[in-house]
Amino acid sequence: MAAFALGWLALWELAARAGWISRLFFPPPTTILLTLGRMLVTGNLAPALALTLYRLALGVAIGAGSGALLGWLMGSSRSVRLALDPIVTALHPLPKLAIFPIFLVLLGIGEASKVALVALTAFFPMVINTLAGVQQIDTTHWEAAANYGARGRALLQRIILPGSLPLVLVGLRLAVNGALMVTIAVEMLSAREGLGALIWLAWQTLRTEELYAVLLVIGVLGLASNSLLELTSQRLLPWKGET
């Protein structure tokens, strides 16, 4: 795989240098790497990355946190599930970016509207996976808990949380990936800072080497967040083994 990737990059480099492809739109990978280095040292990449991470972290914390809580609630209570499931099902497929102008009007043009959209994106995969996680807990566990008189907090701690955790973590992974995409998209739509804003500016100025450099950073960001979640899964679910 690594050999294939390196070969592909070498071919790209050769094609760009030889003029077989447009260097304006497909600058050589070495140029992209040099640009990335320059942006890291002298440019505004670090503050942009920090701001994007802040929006992502805050949005995921709010969205995934509330999604998990609602998922557990819906999983534990049939009446809550019956009441809210149609609403969740109806709202989940709505294109989040299409709602952004409404958020702007409701929450203003500052950070709140951007973070709210990221949170909304993180919310749905979390609530659906958490609910599924509770629903797939084996009935014998419920029966055992009932026989031992487990209720409320004990039921949550002993049965619901550990039983649903594998799917909760899958939901968190989906939530982070979706939230990252929406964070970048929102920044492209309305922000003057952040990685998405850098992508927008790079395209506006047709400095495509900067565009690819930022895309590379986003790719690494996605890889890092997924690796972190994988590591968390291994720590919290040692019995599941490596997924």
Partner 1 sequence: MQITYRIAKYLKVVLAVLLLAACTPIGEPATPTPAPVLVRVGVLPFMSNAILKIADAEGFFVEQGLTVELVPFRSSNDFVPLLLQGELDVAAPALTAGFFNAIARGGNVKIALPLTAFTPQDCPVVVVLARKSDVEAGKYASPAQWKGATIGISLAGAQGLPGYVVDLFLRQAGLTAQDVTLTALDPAVQGEALRSQQVDLLYAAEPWITRLLAGDDVVVLSRAEDVAPDLTSSFMVYGPSLLAEPEVGRRFATAYLNAVRQYHEGKTPRNVELVAEYAGLETELVQQVCWSDIPLDGAVNVDSIMLYQEWLHDLGLLDRLLSADEFLATGFVEVPE
Q: Read off the DSSP letter of residue 238.
A: G
Binding to partner 1 by residue 235, rule CB under 8 A?
Answer: no
Q: How far is the CB of 109 from partner 1 (least distance, A)?
A: 5
Binding to partner 1 by residue 110, rule CB under 8 A?
Answer: yes
Report how many residues bind partner 1 under the rule CB under 8 A: 21
Binding to partner 1 by residue 112, rule CB under 8 A?
Answer: no
Binder among 46, 69, 203, 240 for partner 1 (CB under 8 A): 203
Binding to partner 1 by residue 52, rule CB under 8 A?
Answer: no
Q: How many residues does the chain have?
A: 243
Binding to partner 1 by residue 192, rule CB under 8 A?
Answer: yes
Of the two residues 130 and 208, which places its CB atom closer to partner 1 in the complex?
208
| Alpha carbon distance 25, 207 (integer Å) | 9
Q: How far is the CB of 90 from partner 1 (least distance, A)?
A: 24
| Alpha carbon distance 59, 182 (integer Å) | 10
| Alpha carbon distance 119, 216 (integer Å) | 24
Q: Which residue has the tokens 């922000």?
A: 191
31: its two tokens:
């140029």
Q: How far is the CB of 197 from partner 1 (least distance, A)?
A: 8
Binder among 37, 47, 101, 219 for partner 1 (CB under 8 A): 101
| Alpha carbon distance 127, 107 (integer Å) | 23
Binder among 77, 136, 205, 234 for partner 1 (CB under 8 A): 205
Q: How far is the CB of 100 from partner 1 (least distance, A)?
A: 8
Binder among 6, 10, 14, 24 for partner 1 (CB under 8 A): 24
Binder among 108, 148, 224, 232 for partner 1 (CB under 8 A): 108
DSSP string covering 183-213, please?
HHHHHHHH-SSSHHHHHHHHHHTT-HHHHHH
* Separation in Å, CA 101 to CA 118, 122, 197, 215, 226: 14, 19, 18, 25, 30
Q: Which residue has the tokens 């895309």?
A: 215
Binding to partner 1 by residue 38, rule CB under 8 A?
Answer: no
What is the CB neighbour count within 10 angstroms for residue 212? Answer: 21
Binding to partner 1 by residue 190, rule CB under 8 A?
Answer: yes
Binding site for partner 1 (CB under 8 A): 22-25, 101, 104-105, 108-110, 189-192, 200-201, 203-207
